[in-house]
Amino acid sequence: MVEEENGGVDPRLQAIKAAIRVVPHFPKPGIMFNDITTLLLRPKVFKDAVEIFVDRYRDMNISAVAGVEARGFIFGTPLALALGAKFIPLRKPKKLPGEVISESYVLEYGTDSLEMHLGSVNQGERVIVIDDLVATGGTLCAAIKLLERVGADVIECACLIGLPKFKGGCWLHGKPEDVSWETFTYKLVIQGCKGDKIIAGKQPRLDEAW
Ligand SMILES: O=P(O)(O)OC[C@H]1O[C@H](OP(=O)(O)OP(=O)(O)O)[C@H](O)[C@@H]1O
Ligand SMILES: Nc1ncnc2[nH]cnc12
């Protein structure tokens, strides 16, 4: 469990946090880029990061894990294998060869779209969305919309990183939502996604480095 019974913080989180490099002014001035490639160089920490997700979803009857290109693939594929679930890649435009549906969104540093193959998920399937990081929430929102358009039941979205600069609000469907995020940590950050709403779960605090 991420949050231990005594209210303490999962000890794996500290090492995960320490393994993520923050690069100032990338890819453009003013952006503090959270780089997970440094975490991937540390197999034990990478494994812990995946296992935190596995611990959370093991008994939730999840039939599909939808991973957001590109970094959501890194955490989503081992998670899908561990859960015995299928993996659905949500890809950037013009990468998927079959028939797709598409959703556009606004990023912290630009705009983009996500596409999903039609037929990859059935109506009523229990799906989770995985990515490395949530900033504005625009990407996750596009992912939720894609899945809900084909009738999937999006149980939760989960990311390793939530950016502190968006504390107190995030932007969904292009407009500010009144979402109270208690804190942002290197852990699962989002619980209870339904339609337009992303409702933050209770977070352990790991604020000191911010
Ligand atoms: O919450 P948001 O403001 O929508 O931003 C979060 C998204 O931005 C990053 O991906 P990016 O689009 O940079 O693509 P990449 O993974 O291919 O580098 C990150 O991996 C998330 O997918
Ligand atoms: N600050 C950031 N670091 C890494 N990925 C991001 N995606 C959006 N904002 C980001």
Q: pLDDT tens digit string along 34-80?
A: 899 999 999 999 999 899 889 888 999 999 999 999 999 999 999 99
71 is catalytic: yes
Please choose from 33, 34, 139 the residue to mutate so as to test ligand 1's pocket, defined by most ligand atoms within 8 A of CB.
Answer: 139
Count the Cβ atoms, other than its own, within 10 Å of residue 189: 25
DSSP H stretches of helix in 41-173? 43-57, 71-83, 138-149
Please choose from 21, 25, 37, 108 the residue to mutate so as to test ligand 2's pocket, defined by most ligand atoms within 8 A of CB.
Answer: 108
Element (H, E) at 170: strand 170-172
Looking at residue 177, its pLDDT comes to 38
Give the rounded percent of residues in the chain with a pLDDT score beyond 70: 71
- What pLDDT digit, counting tens, does each position of 149-193 carry? 999 988 878 888 776 554 434 433 333 333 333 323 333 455 444
Which residue, judged by its Cα, is nearest atom 15 of ligand 1? 70
Q: What is the mean pLDDT of the chain?
A: 77
125-154: b (≥16 Cβ within 10 Å) or e: bbbbbbbbbbbbbbbbbbbbbbbbebebeb
